[in-house]
Structure 1
């Protein structure tokens, strides 16, 4: 669904008509009915795939709102969703980001690297979502050449926010993108 040149990233419909990787992501997520099964946690696909600046090896970043008092329920729901494979290649971390406990779960599903990020904050207020929205607006304003420069920087190993920072002359891209 489009809103004056903007995509409603809280829904997955835009992926159906996207590039090949976006359509594959849509098929994977909808085939598993993953967002339906995990709806209670307000999942959103964030990161580079939705805004078409992903490179080979880029993961699907799925963010969740998670009250850590119910962390065990969340993990059970994830396992019940059958989205997470039952193998040894699952990595779980509990970083503290900006003073807040988070959970990050990484695994591979059907050749897609997946990163699940849970934080006790509404998904539309999480930095991953806010950065993606700001980056999408910038990409819309700056055009295809700018987009290709971002992709080239990413291919050189530069992360997304620093790549935007380099091209836009931002001193602290993680903070400055939130102000845009």
Structure 2
């Protein structure tokens, strides 16, 4: 499953919103411009649980934040609502940029670690596995919770009955074997449907 997200070509064959995202990302040449940073699209659009105001979230592997930020500024500063900042998240220096282009808000996030080890990617992969196990009913319930104003991880946590920090609890599910995850998701669905 994880290999399917390594480049954005899968979006071209997806639903309407995924196709629109693909065209926009190609138009912006974003993945080519940021190629040295191993960009990966994460979040709700790749796994088809986005709602009308969902962002395009792109994570990158960044060790030189000055050069990375200069690149983003050079190519995207003229976009609407452009913002860029640097902060520490979990002791990691992190660059964060956001801007709007056409109908999409785009967020570009860079940390000094491989993208496949970053939490945004890890969340997306476990959420995709949960959705595959839970089927269309679970997907629709997650979208419903998101439309009510919840963020993605809290929506999954609520649906699955997870207690504590939803971001951490979702990551803990990624440590389960496929069989354990299957039993957990199916067990939670029986509890919730009663």
Provide TM-score, normalisation by structure 1: 0.89
In the alignment, is residue 22 of structure 1 matched against residue 18 of structure 2? yes
If each structure's helix is expressed as a fraction of its own residues, which one has the higher value?
A: 2
Structure exhibiting the larger radius of gyration computed from Cα positions: 2
Task: Provide the C-alpha distance between the structure 1 equivalents of 2:42 and 2:30, rounded to a whole number of angstroms.
Answer: 15
Determine if contact 2:80/2:100 at 8 Å carries over to the other structure.
no
Q: Quote how far apart the aligned CAs of 1:111 are.
A: 1.8
The 3 A distance-change label for structure 1 pair 87 and 23 is: closer
Partner of residue 50 from structure 1, selected from 46, 51, 61: 46
In the alignment, is residue 125 of structure 1 matched against residue 121 of structure 2? no
Determine if contact 1:15/1:22 at 8 Å carries over to the other structure.
yes
Q: 1:178 aligns to what?
A: 171
Q: Quote how far apart the aligned CAs of 1:104 are.
A: 1.3
Residues 128-161 of structure 1 show CA distances to partners (whole Å, capped at 9, x for unaligned) of 0000000000000000111010001001111100
Report the RMSD for the aligned CA atoms in angstroms: 1.6
Using the TM superposition, name which of 70-79 and 154-163 deviates more. Answer: 70-79
Provide TM-score, normalisation by structure 2: 0.83
Determine if contact 1:7/1:14 at 8 Å carries over to the other structure.
no
In the alignment, is residue 8 of structure 1 matched against residue 27 of structure 2? no
Determine if contact 1:89/1:107 at 8 Å carries over to the other structure.
yes
The 3 A distance-change label for structure 1 pair 29 and 42 is: same
Residues 9-38 of structure 1 show CA distances to partners (whole Å, capped at 9, x for unaligned) of 111121011111100111111233221221
Q: Quote how far apart the aligned CAs of 1:88 are.
A: 6.6
Q: 1:100 aligns to what?
A: 92
In the alignment, is residue 111 of structure 1 matched against residue 103 of structure 2? yes
Q: Any idea what SS the aligned residue of 2:5 has?
A: coil
